[in-house]
Amino acid sequence: MVHLRIVVPAELSAQVVDLLGDAASTSNLVFLAGVARQPPGDLILCDVAREEASVLIDDLKGLGVARLGSISLEQIDSQLSDDADRAERAARGLPSDAVVWEEVEARTSESIELGGNFLVFMILACLIASVGLFLGSPILIVGAMVVGPEFGPIAGFCVALVERRRDVAVRSLTALAIGFPVGITAAYVFTLVCKWTGLLDADFTSAEHPLTQFISHPDTFSFIVAVFAGTAGVLSLTSAKSGALVGVLISVTTIPAAANIGVAAAATDWSEWRGAIAQLSVNLAAIVLAGVATLSIQRRLYDRRRRQHLREGPPR
């Protein structure tokens, strides 16, 4: 279930209450007159089955609620209520398959910001990956993948393409266009420092470590795995439970490939450098293609559901 908190001008309250009350997928409808101060108006609380959340929110937008008041969403993890069970049974589809598009937009908007924390995580992830390359340690490579924050802007770019939101696309690309070079530069400088201080052999090359050579040797399976990971990442982003996202983060070598670009440049190993660039390019392209395709299918299904809702009205 999704909890809605709606602030609405008094002149729209009756329409909103009627809309929510007529929908069989809602429960726990509460109306508090005149309690809202900023903006002034009435407060309406309601729980709605996840499958119907975006459909009802679109109806509320059509009444002008988002423009004149506000609509807040909150995921309900557990609820003991026969009425809520009835509402979920009345909704079309399954909760696990439902996409609340407003929730997806909020998640991506939060994760694409080019801030200090984003850059610090990019730097730390590339530094961890660099040490993994120095030691030939797959464990450190996996750790770097988990720390890396790059999937947020990648997912945001996919959402922006599907929903044709230019502002989100620009912000996502800006985060990636600045974040990756910053991380690569950090790996480059760190490698030089390690060589100057003797922590790393002067003739070091990552080609000596076969367990991490996959980072700079793209092949058909690199593309296939990135497609699978991009699809899984978008599904975890749009689902109610996003626990699978960690598995996505450790399945594609974007951060390690970026780190290897800097490490190989510092080691003047241009064959590895070219291979790492190719690996990063292949993975990014595959993730975006898979993400856009998955979101497009989900959006098309939602649009069909929305049209059916407008033709038939909400389920009763």
Residue 76's pLDDT is 83
Checking phi first, is residue 268 left (phi over 0); if not, alpha (psi -120 to 50) or beta? left
Q: Closest Cα to residue 25, out of 82, 89, 78, 71? A: 89
State how far the Cα of 147 lies from the Cα of 249, in Å rounded to an integer: 9
Residue 5: phi and psi, rounded to 5, are -120, 115
3-state secondary structure of 262: helix
State how far the Cα of 81 lies from the Cα of 70, in Å rounded to an integer: 26
Mean per-residue pLDDT pooled into runs of 10, the chain (316 residues): 92 91 89 90 92 88 90 85 83 74 80 87 94 88 87 90 90 94 96 90 71 76 88 81 52 83 90 91 93 92 82 58
State how far the Cα of 244 lies from the Cα of 233, in Å rounded to an integer: 8
State how far the Cα of 43 lies from the Cα of 45, in Å rounded to an integer: 7
Residue 249's pLDDT is 58
3-state secondary structure of 64: coil
Compute the CA torsion angle 282, 283, 285, 286 (nearest 10 deg): 110
Residue 244 CB coordination number (10 Å): 14
Domain boundaries 2-98, corresponding CATH code: 3.30.70.120
Residue 269's pLDDT is 87
CB 179 within 8 A of CB 123: no
State how far the Cα of 197 lies from the Cα of 137, in Å rounded to an integer: 21
Residue 223: phi and psi, rounded to 5, are -65, -45
Give me the residue label for tokens 């450190």: 140
Residue 217's pLDDT is 81
Residue 157's pLDDT is 93
* Helix %, strand %, coil % of the chain (to 5): 70, 10, 20
Residue 210's pLDDT is 64
Q: Closest Cα to residue 249, out of 167, 169, 141? A: 141
State how far the Cα of 263 lies from the Cα of 269, in Å rounded to an integer: 9
Single-letter code of the amino acid located at 90 = A
Residue 209's pLDDT is 63
CB 16 within 8 A of CB 44: yes
Dihedral sign, Cα of residue 40, residue 42, residue 47, residue 50: negative
Checking phi first, is residue 109 left (phi over 0); if not, alpha (psi -120 to 50) or beta? alpha
Single-letter code of the amino acid located at 303 = D
Residue 248: phi and psi, rounded to 5, are -65, -45
All structural domains of the chain with their residue ranges: 2-98, 104-302
